């Protein structure tokens, strides 16, 4: 030790250099030597900081700093404490490439440890320097800089900072390089960039942003994902445009996707396959969100007719099609990695993992174990690893039926259930009075925290993937029930991790799409109460996911609806309907709509009227978010489907404001019903039709208002923007009304999610919008012919005369030849009653 100290502090350059080399060689591979010689770190840092140090001395001192950090937490902590990271970052700006490479390699070694702080790397000067090194003419320097940047992408904010420094174009250029190791380094950094942004996507899925969920506006696309999508476009520019590429577009030698999909042929390692899957899944998710945002913008601006919009929906953007094709190529390899993940998790827990595609598990295990034991195949600051495979599978499948079917056929459900069953249980929450770990305990605490984070990713990812599968396929739901995974889903509803609780609620939502699994989930497993409790969760993501699940639970079975209501769902849903988050408002109103689908249940209706004020109802109907306004109109329609007693309660609830509200929503010159669109208008018209089936007092109130004139306008008016111009085939108008009651009332509206996003987005045709207006006329004129065989009662006759004078008879006759059978039949009934 004395000789080392003397050598490092000697004025003799040769002796200092010889001592540095000796020290570096002694500590390489020897943990005990490192710990013994840690006191020399300060001298090494001082040598590395010497402005007048020569090339060899700077190289050796920088390399020695990295050696101290390898393989020991104490070494990393000591290196950080001595300020070595700042020293190495300064060395990255040296004029000599050898010094730069040595400093970059040491940073790479230091940042293998989760104990190394990322903040120094994320400072603007450091990021600019690292990104600049990506364009180095020395491949080793560029590759090492890419590896360091990959450690800076653990969160969406960190990814945004790296991308803002200009990393994406440089990494794409590296990906197009002929050197395989350069391509792999670029892929590692790109996967970290895309994977680090996955939290926002998971929140969108779990919060109900897909598959009939919340329906709020998609958030802004991260800049680096937009840049990568632009690179896809640049790589697939039509031949006529290649001479004039868009300004700033990244020009590649080959399409980006082709480059990615070719990498496994050069390096078929699990790391390569997984990173490609991360990039493809992230880009597919971004492209789908971009397409959805564009469709919503077109709808809001009403720039095109419905027929043109349908054609655009059928013609997916080229980029999205390419990514879906790439996903089908990537999926089989990802399922193989899922098998490895399930095996590794089962080995860790002592359980047995299932084999994919019916293969014998004992034969498959050795290879899977070997692959899982390979060198870390997704290391780094992003915390990625085999535990991230289920989450990437969820992102890759998205809402694509073909991909979901392929994953289902590959036995993904069994593998995911195995991962879920084998994942370590979450640790108990720390008590408020627990002391923080001491300095000596910090390394063990950091390792424990990293292990717990990996378990959280495994649980949440498996649940998200199972939720995506169960939303679409009954086979998946049956497999989850058969695997006895419902108990693990139930336990996850109380997990301390927000994303895990939200994912568990997504699973319940998917399982509730079939009657058999719904009974197993709710009746046998008692999930109603814990699911309702999540409505009061601190996380909006969890609340939205729970509300979307409850929306499904209450549709078909009265016993389940009663269990949800008894657990206090109404009391918790009403405040959520006033949330600042549009997707949460929409999910809450959708759940309220389905809770009131059977408004003959007076207790439920009255409880809702007590919890929800009339002013809040008006605010929801006028909500600027189309999804919220539309669901609110459906809720109002359900409240009107309650007979005369229920309608009287609504008049009292509104304080006399009920008819003015309906007039506002039907008035074409008012903007009140604009956000809800044609579907909201249809629901309002059915609410009016139900109102017209009330008592004589209610009918008289309608006749004394402007509602009949507004109904006449609906019968005469052309299709509103966003509605189809015509019904098409006769069957296109079917299902708009149900004439189950003598008075022709339509039943309540259901906001189900089993039919998927297509049903949610369907808009009524012009004829379908006229059907409830005709029903309103029928209900105003209906009477019991058995009690009045000779002539209608005088109030009915008076209403018939008033409607004729208004011009309704002529308007109805004009519709008698409509191509929609349902409308023709209703018109015939109305004309008979008018006569």
The full 3-state SS of 770-822, as one line of letters, equals: HHHHHHHHHHHHCCCCCCCCCCCCHHHHHHHHHHHHHCHHHHHHHCCCCCCHH
Mean pLDDT of the region 772-793: 88
pLDDT tens figures, 427-472: 776 555 567 777 667 667 777 777 788 888 899 999 999 999 999 8
- Is the pLDDT at 325 greater than 80? The verdict is yes
Residue bearing tokens 């060899």: 56
Q: Has residue 83 been placed in a domain?
A: no
pLDDT at 462: 94
Report if residue 746 sits inside a domain. yes
Task: Identify whether the C-beta of residue 786 lies closer than 8 Å to the C-beta of residue 795.
Answer: no
Of 327-336, 556-565, 737-746, least confident by mean pLDDT is 737-746
Rounded CA gap, 575 and 581, in Å? 12
pLDDT in tens, 585-613: 999 999 999 988 865 578 888 999 999 99
How many CB atoms sit inside 10 A of residue 184's CB? 22
**Measured between alpha carbons, how far is 192 from 163 in angstroms, rounded to an integer?**
11
Question: Smallest Cα–Cα separation from 558: which of 587, 588, 599, 525?
Answer: 599
The answer on pLDDT for 245 being more than 60 is no
Rounded to whole angstroms, the Cα distance separating 192 from 182 reads: 16
Reported as a pLDDT band with limits 50, 70 and 90, residue 781 is very high
Residue closest to 479 by CA, chosen among 514, 505, 503, 506? 514
Contact predicate 4/42, CB 8 Å: no
Q: What is the dihedral of CA 627, 463, 160, 175, to 10 degrees?
A: -120
| 244: three-class secondary structure by DSSP | coil
Q: Which domain holds residue 710?
A: 615-835
For residue 562, with 0-12 CB atoms within 10 Å meaning exposed, 13-18 middle and 19 or more buried, which class applies? middle
CA–CA separation, 496 vs 483, rounded Å?
A: 24
Q: What is the pLDDT of residue 212?
A: 42
Give the tokens for residue 677. 């669109």
| HEC string for 142-173 | HHHHHHHHHCCCCCHHHHHHHHHCCHHHHHHH
Whole-angstrom distance, CA of residue 420 vs CA of residue 484:
11
Please tell me what DSSP assigns to residue 218: P
- Cβ 33 vs Cβ 44: under 8 Å: no
**CATH number of the domain to which 768 belongs:** 1.25.10.10
Question: For residue range 76-85, what is the model confidence (pLDDT) as tens digits?
Answer: 989 999 999 9
- pLDDT value of residue 663: 94
Q: Which residue has the higher pLDDT, 369 or 501?
A: 501
Would the CA dihedral through 51, 56, 62, 68 be positive or negative? negative
Q: Residue 244: its pLDDT value, please?
A: 41
- In this prediction, residue 368 carries a pLDDT of 40
pLDDT tens digit sequence for 139-153? 999 999 999 999 988
With 80 as the cut, is the pLDDT of residue 21 above it? yes
Residues 261 and 328: beta-carbon distance below 8 Å: no
Q: What is the DSSP string of 414-433?
A: HHHHHHHHHSPPPPPPPPTT
The region of weakest confidence among 354-368, 661-675, 699-713 is: 354-368
For residue 206, give both structure tokens: 């779990």
pLDDT digit string, tens, across residues 337-356:
888 888 877 776 665 556 55
In a domain, 199, yes or no: no
Q: Are 587 and 548 in contact (CB under 8 A)?
A: yes
Share of the chain above pLDDT 70, in %: 78
Tell me how many domains the chain contains: 1
Residue at 265 is within a domain: no
With a cut of 70, say whether residue 25 has pLDDT above it. yes
Instruction: Report the chain's C-alpha Rg in angstroms.
Output: 33
Contact between 185 and 197 under an 8 Å Cβ cutoff? The reply is no
pLDDT at 439: 67
Phi and psi at residue 726, in whole multiples of 5°? Answer: -145, 170
Q: Would you say 554 and 509 are in contact if contact means Cβ atoms under 8 Å apart? A: no
End-to-end CA distance of the chain: 113
Indicate the pTM of the whole model.
Answer: 0.81
Whole-number pLDDT of residue 340: 85
- Residue 691's pLDDT is 94
At residue 724, the 3 state secondary structure works out as strand
Element housing 305 (H / E): none
Determine phi and psi for 765, rounding to 5 degrees: -80, 170
Contact 193, 167 (CB under 8 A): yes
Nearest to 662 by CA among 636, 641, 638, 627: 636
765 has which bridge partners? 724
Task: Say if residue 57's pLDDT is above 80.
Answer: yes
Half-sphere exposure of 358 (CA within 13 A, CB side): 1
- pLDDT above 50: residue 215: no
**pLDDT score recorded for residue 742:** 38
Query: Residue 814 falls within a domain, yes or no?
Result: yes
Tokens at 64, concatenated: 């020695």
**Model confidence over 391-435: pLDDT tens digits?**
999 999 988 888 999 999 999 999 999 999 888 878 776 555 567
Lowest mean pLDDT among 216-225, 353-362, 627-636: 353-362
Nearest-angstrom CA–CA distance, 73 and 78: 9
Give me the helix-helix angle, 73-81 and 442-472, nearest 10°.
Answer: 110
Q: Is residue 552 part of a domain?
A: no
- Whether 744 has a pLDDT exceeding 80, the answer reads no
What is the structure's pLDDT at 250? 40
* Euclidean distance between CA atoms 530 and 252, whole angstroms: 52
Distance, in Å, from the CA atom of 191 to the CA atom of 791, rounded to the nearest integer, reads 78
User: pLDDT category, 787, cuts 50, 70, 90?
Assistant: confident
Residue with tokens 């029930």, as numbered in its chain: 481
For all residues of the chain together, what is the average pLDDT? 80
* Both structure tokens of 77: 């902590």
At 597, is the secondary structure helix, strand, or coil? coil
Chain segment 64-122, per-residue pLDDT in tens? 999 988 888 888 989 999 999 999 999 999 989 999 999 999 999 999 888 888 999 99
> CB of 587 within 8 A of CB of 540?
no
**Cα dihedral sign for 736, 305, 589, 693?**
negative
With a cut of 90, say whether residue 12 has pLDDT above it: no
**CA–CA dist 775, 829 (Å, integer):** 9
pLDDT digits (tens, 9 = 90+) for 613-671: 999 999 999 998 999 999 999 999 999 988 889 999 999 999 999 999 999 999 887 65
pLDDT bracket for residue 357 (50, 70, 90): low
Quick one: pLDDT at residue 780?
94
**Angle at alpha carbon of residue 379, lines to 350 and 278, rounded to 5°:** 95
| 8 Å CB contact between 8 and 43 | yes
- Per the structure block, which two tokens stand in for 587? 């999910």
Q: Cα 703 to the chain's mean position, in Å?
A: 48
Q: Would you call 120 exposed, middle or buried from its count of C-beta atoms within 10 A (0-12, 13-18, 19+)?
A: middle
Cross-strand partners of 724: 765
Strand locations in 85-128, DSSP E? none
- Residue 71, H or E segment: none
Percent of the chain with pLDDT over 90: 42
Calpha distance 361→770 (Å, rounded): 61
More confident residue, 691 or 309: 691
Query: How does DSSP assign 345-395, residue by residue?
Result: HHHHHT--PPPGGG--HHHHHHHHHHHHTSSPSS-STT--SGGGHHHHHHH
Is residue 461 situated within a structural domain? no
Q: Are 115 and 80 in contact (CB under 8 A)?
A: yes
Give me the mean pLDDT over the 681-690 stretch: 93
Does residue 751 belong to any structural domain of this protein? yes
* pLDDT grade for 748, boundaries at 50, 70 and 90: low
- Eight-class DSSP state of 400: -
User: Which CA distances in Å does 442 have to 31, 268, 437?
Assistant: 18, 38, 6
d(CA 527, CA 509): 11
């Amino acid at each position: 030790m004395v000789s080392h100290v003397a050598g490092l502090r000697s004025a003799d350059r040769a002796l200092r250099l010889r001592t540095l080399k000796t020290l570096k060689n002694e500590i390489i591979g020897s943990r005990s030597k490192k710990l013994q010689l840690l006191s020399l770190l300060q001298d090494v840092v001082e040598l590395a900081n010497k402005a007048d140090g020569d090339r060899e001395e700077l190289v050796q001192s920088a390399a020695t700093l990295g050696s101290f950090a390898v393989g020991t937490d104490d070494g990393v902590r000591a290196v950080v404490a001595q300020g070595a990271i700042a020293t190495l970052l300064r060395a990255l700006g040296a004029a000599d490439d050898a010094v730069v490479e040595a400093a970059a390699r040491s940073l790479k070694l230091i940042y293998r440890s989760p104990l190394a702080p990322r903040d120094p790397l994320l400072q603007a000067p450091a990021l600019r320097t690292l990104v600049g090194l990506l364009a180095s003419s020395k491949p080793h320097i560029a590759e090492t800089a890419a590896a360091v940047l990959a450690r800076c992408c653990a969160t969406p904010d960190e990814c945004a900072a790296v991308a803002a420094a200009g990393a994406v174009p440089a990494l794409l250029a590296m990906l197009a390089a002929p050197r395989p190791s350069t391509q792999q380094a670029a892929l590692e950094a790109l996967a970290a960039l895309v994977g680090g942004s996955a939290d926002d996507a998971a929140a969108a899925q779990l919060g109900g942003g897909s598959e009939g969920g919340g329906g709020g506006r998609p958030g802004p696309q991260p800049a680096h994902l937009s840049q990568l999508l632009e690179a896809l476009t640049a790589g697939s520019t039509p031949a006529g445009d290649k001479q004039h590429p868009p300004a700033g577009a990244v020009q590649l030698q080959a399409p980006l996707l082709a480059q990615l999909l070719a990498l496994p042929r050069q390096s078929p390692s699990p790391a390569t396959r997984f990173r490609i899957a991360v990039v493809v899944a992230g880009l597919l998710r971004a492209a789908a969100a971009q397409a959805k945002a564009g469709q919503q913008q077109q709808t809001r601006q009403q720039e095109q007719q419905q027929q043109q919009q349908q054609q655009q929906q059928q013609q997916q953007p080229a980029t999205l099609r390419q990514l879906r094709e790439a996903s089908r190529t990537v999926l089989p390899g990802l399922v193989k990695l899922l098998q490895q993940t399930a095996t590794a998790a089962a080995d860790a827990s002592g359980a047995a993992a299932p084999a994919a595609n019916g293969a014998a598990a004992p034969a498959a295990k050795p290879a899977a174990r070997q692959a899982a034991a390979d060198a870390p195949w997704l290391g780094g600051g992003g915390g990625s690893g085999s535990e991230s495979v289920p989450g990437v599978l969820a992102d890759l499948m998205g809402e694509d039926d073909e991909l979901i079917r392929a994953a289902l056929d590959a036995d993904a459900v069994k593998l995911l259930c195995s991962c879920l069953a084998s994942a370590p249980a979450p640790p108990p929450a720390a008590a408020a009075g627990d002391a923080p770990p001491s300095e000596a305990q910090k390394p063990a605490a950091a390792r424990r925290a990293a292990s717990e984070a990996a378990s959280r990713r495994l649980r949440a990812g498996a649940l998200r993937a199972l939720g995506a599968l169960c939303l679409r396929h009954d086979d998946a739901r049956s497999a989850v029930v058969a695997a006895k995974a419902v108990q693990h889903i139930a336990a996850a509803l109380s997990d301390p991790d927000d994303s895990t609780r939200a994912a568990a609620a997504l699973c319940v939502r998917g399982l509730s799409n079939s009657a058999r699994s719904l009974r197993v989930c709710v009746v046998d497993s008692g999930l109603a109460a814990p699911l309702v409790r999540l409505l009061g969760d601190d996380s909006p993501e969890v609340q939205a996911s729970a509300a979307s699940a409850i929306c499904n639970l209450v549709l078909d079975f009265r016993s389940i609806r009663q269990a949800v209501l008894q657990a206090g769902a109404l009391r918790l849903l009403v405040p959520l309907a006033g949330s600042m988050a549009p997707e949460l408002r929409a999910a809450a109103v959708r759940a309220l709509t389905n809770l009131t689908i059977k408004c003959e249940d007076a207790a439920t209706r009255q409880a809702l009227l007590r919890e929800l004020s009339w002013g809040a109802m008006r605010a929801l109907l006028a909500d600027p978010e189309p999804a919220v306004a539309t669901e609110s109109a459906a809720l109002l329609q359900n409240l009107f489907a309650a007979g005369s007693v229920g309608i009287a309660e609504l008049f009292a609830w509104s304080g006399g404001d009920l008819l003015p509200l309906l007039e506002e929503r039907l008035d074409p010159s008012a903007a009140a019903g604009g956000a809800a669109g044609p579907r909201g208008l249809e629901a309002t018209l059915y609410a009016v039709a139900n109102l017209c089936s009330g008592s004589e007092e209610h009918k008289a109130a309608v006749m004394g208002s402007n509602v009949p004139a507004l109904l006449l306008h609906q019968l005469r008016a052309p299709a509103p923007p966003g509605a189809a111009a015509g019904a098409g085939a006769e069957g296109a108008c079917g299902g708009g009304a149900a004439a189950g009651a003598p008075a022709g009332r339509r039943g309540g509206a259901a906001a189900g999610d089993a039919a998927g996003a297509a049903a949610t987005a369907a808009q009524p045709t012009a004829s379908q919008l006229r059907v409830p207006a005709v029903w309103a006329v029928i209900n105003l004129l209906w009477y019991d012919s058995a009690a009045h065989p000779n002539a209608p009662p005088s109030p009915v006759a008076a209403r018939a005369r008033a409607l004729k004078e208004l011009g309704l008879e002529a308007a109805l006759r004009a519709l008698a030849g409509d191509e929609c059978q349902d409308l023709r039949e209703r018109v015939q009934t109305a004309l008979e009653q008018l006569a």
